[in-house]
Chain A
Amino acid sequence: MKMVFLKSKNRFGNQSLRDRLFLSLSFFSLSLGLLMLVLTVAFLLKETGFPFSRVFRFDLIFSPGWSPLADPPDYRLGHAWISSFYITGIGLLISIPIGFGIGVFSAELAPPLIRKILQPALELLAGIPAVVYGFFGYVTLVRLFEHFFALSTGETVLAAGIILGVMMLPFIASTSAEAFRSSFAIYRESVLSLGVNQWTLLSKIVWVHAFPGLLAAVALGFARGIGETLAVLMLSGNSVAVPQSILDRAQPVTALLATELGETMVHSPKYQALFSAGFILLIMVLIVNFGILLLKKKLFSRFFTS
Chain B
Amino acid sequence: MKTKHLFNKIYVLLVWFCGLIGLILPFWIVGYLLYHGIRVISLSFLFDRPRGFPLGSSGGIFPALQGSFSLILIGLLIALPAGIGGAIYLAEFLKNQRFKRTARWIIESMAAVPSILYGLFGYAFFVVTLSMGISLLAGGLVLAMVMFPIILITSHEALEAVPSEYREATFALGVDRTEWILKILLRKTWSRILAGVVLAVGHAVGSASPVLFTASVYYTPGGFNLFHPVMTLPTHLYYLVAEAISFDQAYGTALILVLGLFVFNIAAMILRRYLKE
Bound CA–CA A21/B93 (angstroms): 12
Known: A12-B93, A29-B81. A102 touches B22 (CB 8 A): yes
Selected contact of A289 from candidates B112, B120, B181, B238, CB within 8 Å? B112
Bound CA–CA A91/B168 (angstroms): 50
Stretch of A62-70, A73-81, A121-129 with 4 or more beta carbons under 8 angstroms from chain B: A121-129
What is the CB-to-nearest-CB distance from B56 to chain A, in angstroms, rounded to a whole number? Answer: 14
Q: Which residues of B contact A25 (CB under 8 A)?
A: 85
Q: Which residues of A contact B168 (CB under 8 A)?
A: 1-2, 5
Q: Are A121 and B22 in contact (CB under 8 A)?
A: yes
Q: Are A140 and B209 in contact (CB under 8 A)?
A: no
Selected contact of B16 from candidates A5, A109, A197, A200, CB within 8 Å? A109
Q: Are A102 and B18 in contact (CB under 8 A)?
A: yes
Q: Are A101 and B19 in contact (CB under 8 A)?
A: yes
Q: What are the interface flags for A262-287 relative to B under an 8 Å C-beta threshold, 1 for contact and 0 otherwise? A: 10001000000011001001100110
Bound CA–CA A102/B247 (angstroms): 33
What is the CB-to-nearest-CB distance from A206 to chain B, in angstroms, rounded to a whole number? Answer: 12
- For B93, B234, B262, the residue with the greatest tally of chain A CB atoms inside 10 Å of its CB is B93
Q: Are A121 and B23 in contact (CB under 8 A)?
A: yes
Q: Are A258 and B209 in contact (CB under 8 A)?
A: yes
Name the prevailing secondary structure of the A interface residues: helix
Q: Are A22 and B22 in contact (CB under 8 A)?
A: no
Is there a chain A Cβ closer than 8 Å to B82's Cβ?
Answer: yes
Stretch of B28-36, B45-53, B69-77, B220-228 with 4 or more beta carbons under 8 angstroms from chain A: B28-36
Q: Which residues of A contact B261 (CB under 8 A)?
A: 127-129
What is the CB-to-nearest-CB distance from A146 to chain B, in angstroms, rounded to a whole number? Answer: 14
Q: Are A132 and B33 in contact (CB under 8 A)?
A: yes
Q: Are A27 and B177 in contact (CB under 8 A)?
A: no
Name the prevailing secondary structure of the B interface residues: helix
What is the CB-to-nearest-CB distance from A286 to chain B, in angstroms, rounded to a whole number? Answer: 6
Interface size on B, residues (CB 8 A): 92
Is there a chain A Cβ closer than 8 Å to B103's Cβ?
Answer: yes
Q: Which of A108-122 contact B (CB under 8 A)?
A: 109-110, 114, 117-118, 121-122
Is there a chain B Cβ closer than 8 Å to A43's Cβ?
Answer: yes
Known: A26-B93, A33-B110, A128-B29. A275 touches B257 (CB 8 A): no
Q: Which of B162-203 contact A (CB under 8 A)?
A: 164, 167-168, 171, 174-178, 181, 202
Q: Are B237 and A132 in contact (CB under 8 A)?
A: yes
| A177: nearest chain-B partner, CB-CB | B22
Q: Which residues of A contact B54 (CB under 8 A)?
A: none
Bound CA–CA A254/B116 (angstroms): 7
Known: A117-B23, A118-B19, A254-B209. A29 touches B82 (CB 8 A): yes
Known: A109-B19, A121-B23. A135 touches B237 (CB 8 A): yes
Q: Which of A38-94 contact B (CB under 8 A)?
A: 39-40, 43-44, 47
| A286: nearest chain-B partner, CB-CB | B109
